[in-house]
Each structure stands twice: as C-alpha cells, then as structure tokens.
Structure 1
Amino acid sequence: MIRYSLKCAEGHSFDSWFQSAAAYDKLAVAGLVSCAVCGSEKVEKAIMAPRVRPGRKAVSSVGEAESPDAAQPSNSHEPAAPAQTQGALSAPASEMEKAIQELRKKVEENSDYVGKDFVSQARAMHLGDAPARAIHGEARPEEAKSLIEDGVPVLPLPFGPARKTN
C-alpha cells in the first residue's frame, strides 16, 4: 500500500491510499481518482516529504526513551505546521471538510447502509414493492442515471462509504 498526498484543480489537499504506484496511475488515467472535498476529477500528486521513522532512542508514543536532541531547539528552516493540521490525520482541515463530516454523521445516523444493493432497494421502494425508509449505499454512475431517469429520488453524496480496514 502507498499513501499519496493529492491536490485537485480547485486547490483542495487530501491524502489517499492506493494498492501500488501503478494502481494509482491506472486509476488516474481512467478518471477514477477524484477530490475528496469537491469531487473534481482533475487531481494530481502533491509534493510529499518522505516518511522517516525515528531511531530506537527517540521518543516513542508512550514516552519510553528520550532522544538526546529532543530538548534542543530545531535549527530547521521549515515553517511550523499550523495548529489545525497537527494531531490526527483524519481531522478535517477546512470548513468544507467539517461540513462534509457533519453530513456524513447525519446520513449514517438517520439512514440504513445497504451497500451495493442500493439500486435494487431504491427501485423496490419507489415501485412500492418494499416499505419506504431512508437508505444510502453504492451505485455505479450509469445505475444512478437510470434511477433518476425512472423518477426514483436519489442524490449523490460528497463522500464514499466508510470502509473498515483489517
């Protein structure tokens, strides 16, 4: 797995994981890499710093050891990271990301996730073959277009499904 820092044509920055560098290239050429904030398909890799692991004597996450340089001020000429970006990688950095995160929370609390069965369940509810309820799930673009053409009230969400890893 490889993580890339990405940037869309609108200036939104976000990270995404890919199976390999070749997998990213293949998805990007096919137009399947899109901005996590605005959905733009004009996405490119942003400049990234390599991930460097600290030595064995550096401060660990539980504070077991201390690096001899830990108390020394940094002579680096790099600017300090803004306070809002420090901490968890999944914390939203902009107002738009916060709004999308809040929307995700409301959708997940007030509807049932039906996964790839979304199209058949939405159509069944529209035809009266299944009881009406709030659902969200996954549909290919051509399936969503077919639902809309048939008068089924659907709306694309600005986020993908929450997937569990491992």
Structure 2
Amino acid sequence: MKVFNLSCAQDHRFEGWFASAEAYESQLERGLVECPVCGDQSVRRLPSAPRLNLSSSAARPEPDSPAAAALSPEKLQAMWLRMARHIRENTDDVGERFAEEARRIHHHDAPNRGIRGVATREEAAELSEEGIEVFSFPMPKGSNEPLQ
C-alpha cells in the first residue's frame, strides 16, 4: 500500500492510499482522484519524507507549549472534515425545506432532532429573529459519500 500526500489546485492537502504508484497514476489519468474538500480533480502529488516513529519524549513538545498549540492548515482541514462527517452522520438532510422544518421543530410540530439543509441569508436571519438557532457550516463537495 502506498500513501501519498496530495494537494488540489486550491491547496487543500489530503492523503491518498493506493495499491501502487502505477495505480495512483492510472486513477489520476481516469479522473478518479479528487479533493475530498472541494471536488477538484487537478490533484498533484507532494513530496513526502519517510515516516519515523520516535518513542523519545524529547521529540514531543510540552502539552502547554506554543508548539503543541499550533494548528497547521492540514490539522485544521482534518478537524473540519471530522466535523463535517459528524454533522452528516448525526443530522437529517432536509434540503431546501430547512427553514420550514426548523420552524416546525421549534413549534413542536415535528420531532426534535438535528437537521441540515439549505437556507438563504434572509431565511437564516428570519429564523434567528424568531429565536431559532442556526449556523452555517460549509459541507465538502460530495459529502453524501464517505469523507476521508
């Protein structure tokens, strides 16, 4: 199994797992490799170093040090993907009916549950004025498929 560090044209970074380098090239040529964040198929392989597992505690930063608190773009992206996966797995997709269904839940005309869907800025503002909490979270393209 080959694990490659990949990046799309928008510089979203992610890992790709392939049976071989040839399998990666073949899938890339057939348009089967795409960014899990934006769906871009302009993917390139990044240089990578061998992975070294060091058990020495000297290699790890202290828990409260600035080095431990720093979040790289890759870590932030991974957190965003985990959150998107959690939202998808724990909410009902009501699509364009989001504002209507949120109101039904708020007024106890529908079962209380987490929902996700699409609302205009105006609809979101109206819901907020009615005391209905909503937040916007951009879901990755193709989020109905397994997220990396």
Q: Which has the higher helix share?
A: 2
Q: TM-score, normalised by structure 1?
A: 0.45
Q: Greater Rg, structure 1 or structure 2?
A: 1
Greater RCO (CA < 8 Å, at least 6 residues apart): 2
Q: TM-score, normalised by structure 2?
A: 0.49
